[in-house]
Amino acid sequence: MASSSLSLSLSLTLCLVSTLCYAHTSSLTLPVTKDHSTHQYLTILSYGTPVESAKFVLDLGGSLLWADCASRTTPSSTLAPIFHRSIRCLTAKGPEIETHRWLSSLANPIDQDQPCQITAENSITGKRVTEGELVEDLVIHRSHELLFTCSPTFLLNGLATDAKGIIGLDKSRISFSSQVFHSLKIQRKITLCLSHTSGVIQFGKMTHKSQTESEIFRYLTFTPLVANQDPTQTQSSINVNSVKINGKKVAFDTPLGGGAQLSTVVPYTTLQTSIYDNFESAYLKAASSMDMKRVDPVSPFGLCFESNGVGSSQVGPNVPIIDLVLQSEMVKWSIYGRNSMVQVSDDVMCLGFVDGGENPRNSIVIGGFQLEDVLVQIDFDTSMVGFSPSLLTKQASCSDFQP
Classify residue 198: in a domain, yes or no: no
Q: Report residue 91 CA to chain centroid gap.
A: 23
**Considering the domain boundaries, does residue 242 fall inside one?**
yes
Per-residue pLDDT tens digits for 58-78? 999 999 999 999 999 999 999
Q: Which residues pair with 34 in a beta bridge?
A: 41
Q: Are residues 140 and 227 in the same domain?
A: no
Is the pLDDT score of 117 beyond 80? yes
- First and final C-alpha spacing in the chain: 40
Determine, yes or no, domain membership for 340.
yes
What percent of the chain clears pLDDT 70, i.e. is strictly above it? 84
- The domain that contains 159 carries what CATH number? 2.40.70.10
* Pair (181, 242) in one structural domain: no
Give the CA diameter of the chain: 74
In the predicted model, what is the mean pLDDT of the chain? 87
Residues forming beta bridges with residue 80, ordered by sequence position: 136
Say if 150 falls within a structural domain: yes
381 shares a domain with 245: yes
220 and 161 together in one domain: no
Domain that holds residue 355: 211-400
Task: Out of 153, 186, 219, pick the residue that ends a domain.
Answer: 186
* 196 occurs within a structural domain: no
Same domain for 216 and 174 = no
Where among 152, 186, 220 does a domain terminate?
Answer: 186
Which of residues 363 and 143 earns the better pLDDT score?
Answer: 363
Instruction: Give yes or no: residues 221 and 166 share one domain.
Output: no
Q: Could you tell me whether strands 65-67 and 145-150 are parallel, antiparallel, or unpaired per DSSP bridges?
A: parallel
Same domain, 14 and 130: yes
In-domain check, residue 33:
yes
Based on the domain organization, do 152 and 230 belong to the same domain?
no
Do residue 22 and residue 168 come from a single domain? yes
Evaluate whether residue 203 is within a structural domain: no
The predicted pLDDT at position 109 comes to 60
Closest CA to 309 of 291, 287, 295: 291
Pair 101, 231 in one domain = no
27: in domain: yes
Number of C-beta neighbours around residue 348 at 10 A: 18
Q: Evaluate if residue 98 carries a pLDDT over 60.
A: no
Select from 193, 196, 190 the least CA-distant residue to 177.
190
Distance CA 316, CA 30 (A): 28
Q: How many domains does the chain have?
A: 2
Same domain for 256 and 395: yes
Number of Cα atoms under 13 Å in the Cβ half of residue 375: 28
pTM of the model: 0.89
Residue 250: pLDDT over 80: yes
In this prediction, residues 370-385 reach a mean pLDDT of 97
Summarize pLDDT for 197-239 with one digit per residue, the tens.
999 999 998 776 666 667 788 889 999 998 765 656 678 999 9
Same domain, 65 and 158: yes
Domain boundary among the residues 134, 152, 186 is at 186
Under the banding of pLDDT at 50, 70 and 90, the label for residue 315 is very high
Cβ–Cβ < 8 Å for 86, 133: no
Q: What percent of the chain shows pLDDT beyond 90?
A: 68
